[in-house]
Amino acid sequence: MAMTRRSFGRAGLIALGAGLSRSAWAAEPATARRLVIFFSPNGTVPHRWRPVGTGTGYSFAAGSILEPLTAHRSGLVVVGGVDFKDTSNHEGGMRAMLTGNGLTSHVGAGASIDQYVASQIGGGMAFPSLELGVHTSAWGASVQTRMSYSAPGNFVPPDDDPGHVHSRLAQKLSPVGAALTPAELRRQKVLDLVYQEVTGLRQVVPVAEKARLDQHLDALSAMQSSLAAGGLCGTAGPAPVGTDPASNDAFPAITDAQLSLLVTALSCGLTRVASFQLSHTVGPPVFSWLGLQEGHHSLSHKGDTDPAGVDQYVAAERWVTGRFGALLDALASAPDLELGGNLLDHTLVVWCKEMGDGRLHDCVSVPFVLAGVPSLLGEGRFLEAGGAPHQKLLVSIARLMGLDVMTFGDPSYGTGPLAGLGA
C-alpha cells in the first residue's frame, strides 16, 4: 500500500495549515509535542553512510545510504560520532540504545526514552504510547528483538500485524453519533476559524487564486461535516489489504501500512508517542523486492574486500532511508488541527540503530538522524559528536520534548545534553 495522503484517514485530507497565517492557530509551542522513534537494524557501513562536509554545509554523496533524504537535508540533524559506552554487539546495542544502560536508581528507571517520555506526556491519550513493527514476532521476545522497555527487563512489544493495529485504532475512535470529545471540540473550533479566514482571504486574492481557495473551502466543509457526523477521525480509514504479517515478500506493503497507521494515530490525537521497529537486530528479512537473495543481517557483514556485497547492503539500506523519508513526507502532509501547521512542525522524529559498523559488531559512532520541529532543531546540519556518550543524546531528546532532566540512563558517562542539540 503506497503511502499517500488518503492513507491517513479523514484528518489527512489536506495540509491546510502551512499556507495560512497563524492567527487561527494556538501559539507556537516551545517544545516538541510528539515523539516518533524509527529503528532499523544491523548497523551501517560508515564510509557509505557518512555525509560529506560538516555543519550546515553538509551534503549526501551520490550513491550513499542517506542520499534518498536529499530533499529533506535542510530539516535534518544528522548525528555522527555517538558512542554506546561499555556496550558492544547486537544484543548490547539493542538493550542500551534507548535506555542508556539505565537502572532503577537512574533517570528513566531503566525505561527506554520513548516510554519515559510517554509517562510524562501521554496522560489522557487513548494510547500513552503506540509500538508498531514489521517482522518482529517470529523469534519471540528477547533482548535481540525488543527495543522498548517499561523497566529493566520489561519489554514493551511492538504490534507487527497491520490488520490488528487498524482494529485497535478503530476501537478508540468516536462512533457515529457519539458526543464530541474535548479534542474534537478543539478541532471543530480550529476548523471554523480557518474556514472564516480562508473565506475572508478569498475576497482579496487575485481571480487566479480563487479556484485554489475554493478547493480548500470544499475540503474544510467536508471535514466540518465529518466532524459533526461522528468525529473528524470517525474512522481509521480503510483497513489494510489482508496479508500474512510474516510474509517476507509482503515486507514493503506491511512497512507502508504500518507507517500509514502510525500517522493516522498521530493525526487523530490517539497518541503523542509512537515507535516503529523495522524487524530487529540479526533479523532474517531478505530484500527480495530489490532482487537481493541474501538476508539483510548477512549482507551487513560484507567487508570492503567484497564491494559487490557491500553494494547490495547499501541498496537495502537506501530502501530503508526511503521509508524514513516517506514518513517525514507523510507527517508534513498531515495538518496539525490542534496546533496548526502540519504534524512534522511539532513532532520530533528520531532514526536510530543499535550498532555503528555492523561488520565490527561495535557500538562506536552509532548513526542517528533527527527531523521535525524546525523551530527547535533549526537549520539542517551534520553534527559530529566526537565520541560523546549516547546518554547525552537521550538527554537532548528528553529536553526537546520539554522534560527538565540533565541525565538519562547511566549518568557516569556524562551529564547534560549533546553539545549543539538542545539547551
Q: What are phi and psi of 205, to 5 degrees?
A: -85, 160
What does the alpha-carbon distance between residue 195 and residue 177 come to, in Å, rounded to a whole number? 23
How do the pLDDT tens digits run along the chain, 423 residues long? 444 333 333 333 333 443 443 333 445 568 999 999 999 999 999 999 999 999 999 999 999 999 999 999 999 999 999 999 999 999 999 999 999 998 887 888 899 999 999 999 999 999 999 999 999 999 999 999 999 999 999 999 999 999 999 999 988 886 544 555 666 566 667 767 777 877 888 888 788 777 767 766 766 665 555 555 444 465 667 777 777 899 999 999 999 999 999 999 999 899 999 999 999 999 889 999 999 999 999 999 999 999 999 999 999 999 999 999 999 999 998 888 778 889 999 999 999 999 999 999 999 999 999 999 999 999 999 999 999 999 999 999 999 999 999 999 999 998 999 999 987
Around 103, how many Cα atoms within 13 Å sit in the side-chain half-sphere? Answer: 4
Cα distance between residue 156 and residue 143, in whole Å: 11
Structure confidence at residue 28 (pLDDT): 57
Is 5 exposed, middle or buried, given 0-12, 13-18 or 19+ CB atoms closer than 10 A? Answer: middle
Q: Which long-range CB contacts under 8 A does 11-14 form with residues at least 24 apart?
A: 11/232, 11/233, 11/264, 11/267, 11/268, 11/334, 11/335, 11/337, 12/263, 12/264, 12/267, 12/330, 12/333, 12/334, 12/335, 13/219, 13/222, 13/223, 14/216, 14/219, 14/335
pLDDT digits (tens, 9 = 90+) for 372-392: 999 999 999 999 999 999 999
pLDDT digits (tens, 9 = 90+) for 48-79: 999 999 999 999 999 999 999 999 999 999 99
pTM of the model: 0.84
Q: What is the pLDDT of residue 3?
A: 44
Distance CA 201, CA 197 (A): 6
Class of the CATH domain delimited by 5-413? alpha beta
Predicted local distance difference test score (pLDDT) of residue 275: 98
For residues 84-93, one letter each, b for 16 or more C-beta atoms within 10 angstroms of the residue's C-beta and e for the rest, the string is bbebbbbebb
Instruction: List the domain boundaries for the chain.
Output: 5-413
CA distance 121 to 99: 18
CA dist., res. 120 & res. 255, Å (int):
28
Percentages (nearest 5) of helix, strand, coil residues in the chain? 40, 15, 45
Contact 17, 267 (CB under 8 A): no
Alpha-carbon distance of 393 to 86, in angstroms, equals 16
Contact 263, 130 (CB under 8 A): no
What is the pLDDT, as a whole number, of residue 317? 98
Order of strands across the sheet with 76-83?
130-134, 273-278, 34-39, 347-352, 366-371, 76-83, 381-389
Cα–Cα distance between 333 and 315 in angstroms, integer?
27
| Residue 378 amino acid letter | G
With 0-12 / 13-18 / 19 or more C-beta atoms within 10 angstroms meaning exposed / middle / buried, residue 206 is exposed
Please say whether the dihedral angle defined by the alpha carbons of residues 352, 259, 400 and 332, taken in this order, is positive or negative. positive
The residue behind cell 530487529 is: 280
User: What is 146-188 written as a DSSP string?
Assistant: ---EEETTEE-PPB--HHHHHHHHHHHSPPTTPPPPHHHHHHH
Q: What is the pLDDT of residue 14?
A: 36
Which residues does residue 284 pair with via DSSP β-bridges, in sequence order? none
8 Å CB contact between 312 and 292: yes
Helices 251-267 & 162-172 angle (0-180, nearest 10):
10
What tens digit of pLDDT does each residue of 319-345 get?
A: 999 999 999 999 998 888 778 889 999
Cβ–Cβ < 8 Å for 421, 402: no
